[in-house]
Amino acid sequence: MDIFEKCQNYTLARDFREKGIYPYFHALQSRQDVEVIMEGKRRIMLGSNNYLGLTTEPSVVEAGIRAFEQYGSGCSGSRFLNGTLQMHLELESELADFVNKEGAVTFSTGFQSNLGIISAIVGRGDYVICDRENHASIYDGCKLSYGKMLRYAHNDMEDLEKLLQRVPETAGCLIVTDGVFSMGGDIAKLPEIVALAEKYGARVMVDDAHGLGVIGEGGRGTASYFGLEDKVDIIMGTFSKSLASLGGYMAASEEVCDYVRHNSRPFIFSASIPPASCAVALAALRHLKAHPELPERLGRLSAYARAGLKARGLTIRESTTPIIPIYTYTMENTLVKNKELYEAGVYVNPVLPPATAPNECLLRTSYMASHTEALLDEAMDIIASVLL
């Protein structure tokens, strides 16, 4: 059998292209901002994870330019060897302090962070228990580990407890959950998860990729939102969203950080974050600390959009975050409406199976602190005219 036979038989993308509703790889020709030029036309951007709008913040951009000029284009090696800059250490120290942990470890991408953390912590004979709607990188981190993965129904604490009861007392156990779920925008039931972890002797890891800069005191994330920073053992996050850069991190006790540094293959065998990306993440973090009103502004705009979509008669999936999905139900309808919105000047993201149930497809809209109410009204009027 030819190993490429699966490639030859894969027709889904080809079929969507032939129907003219293929939704991916639209090319940006401008900065990532509230309005963009994409394929030659102005689009209102409601499909970005640039939650605080810092990709165009002058001080953040300038920090990247200065680092590029001072350190060059890359570090040419892993953090373990020749790839550690003083700036990497500063970023880790300030991140740890911001989320109230002893230490932090940075990774080259957010995806690699989950691969590197979970595969290092969860060993042979251990268990890792995941929410079914966790990010794909968590699932791949579980696969890379030698532990046994169990999955509980989304935010279902009764199901989680049943799985915890199956874990032998002699086995280590890590519960992993998204803080803010990337597709639905809902928040993990962290108080209940922490209580169950304490009852059954498990540890807790929160993927806060969509929580940092969004919820919690001054944007400190999900653990802060619930006042549980001392109860969550590992906080993971990314720099590619609120911090306007590229990379990821783990924050935890210093002994856990030190173990991961010396046992995580994705950390040891990957080149470090390039100087400009590191400088941008650090500048964005400092900007967030200096401007705690940004997450508050983001929350108000998200509530404004949520109310505006409902007032226009649209059916949304309830959330309290800047991720607001609009139900479009079938895959075909979702892709058709996504194209019509794109052509009308609004960019959103289609969410299709397996990220949703077959007839619960969505258009994922997401918002930035730099949006204006007037721009959101323009976008919501367009969305209503297309979807209703």
| Ordered structural domains, the chain, with CATH | 10-45+292-387 (3.90.1150.10), 58-290 (3.40.640.10)
**Tokens 């002893």 -> residue:** 102
Buried b (16+ CB within 10 A) or exposed e, 367-386: bbbbbeeebbeebbebbeeb
Q: Strand 173-178 relative to strand 361-366: parallel, antiparallel, unpaired? A: unpaired
Rounded Cα distance, 107 and 248, in Å: 5
Q: Per the residue annotation, which of 135, 241, 287, 339 is the catalytic one?
A: 241
In tens, the pLDDT along 279-298 reads: 999 999 999 999 999 999 99
Whole-angstrom distance, CA of residue 267 vs CA of residue 104: 13
241 given a catalytic annotation:
yes
**What pLDDT, on the 0 to 100 scale, is given for residue 120?**
98
Q: Are strands 346-347 and 41-45 parallel, antiparallel or unpaired?
A: parallel
The secondary structure of 285-310, three-state, reads HHHHHHCCHHHHHHHHHHHHHHHHHH
132-145: pLDDT as tens digits = 999 999 999 999 99
Token pair 């609009």 is at which residue? 326
154 is catalytic: no
| Residue 210 is a catalytic residue | yes
Angle between helices 190-200 and 157-166 (to 10 degrees): 20
- Alpha-helical regions (H) of the chain: 5-8, 12-19, 58-71, 86-98, 110-121, 136-144, 157-166, 190-200, 222-225, 254-263, 265-268, 275-290, 293-311, 331-344, 373-387
How do 248-252 and 234-238 pair as beta strands? antiparallel
Distance in angstroms between the alpha carbons of the first and the last residue of the chain:
49
Residues 93-123 have pLDDT tens digits of: 999 999 999 999 999 999 999 999 999 999 9
pLDDT over 90 at 318, yes or no: no
Whole-number pLDDT of residue 236: 98
pLDDT tens digits, residue range 25-73? 999 999 999 999 999 999 999 999 999 999 999 999 999 999 999 999 9
Cα 238 from Cα 210, distance rounded (Å):
8
- pLDDT of residue 171 exceeding 90, the answer is yes
Contact 246, 253 (CB under 8 A): no
Options 137, 182, 264, 270, the catalytic residue: 182
DSSP string, 215-249: SSGGG--HHHHTT-TTT-SEEEEESSSTT-SS-EE
User: From CA 96, how far away is CA 382, in angstroms rounded?
Assistant: 42
Q: Which helix (H) or strand (E) holds 365?
A: strand 361-366
Mean pLDDT of 200-222: 98
Residue pair 67/273 in contact by the 8 Å Cβ criterion? no
Catalytic residue, chosen from 101, 135, 210, 337, is: 210
Please report which confidence band the pLDDT of residue 317 belongs to, taking 50, 70 and 90 as the band edges. confident
β partners of residue 178: 207
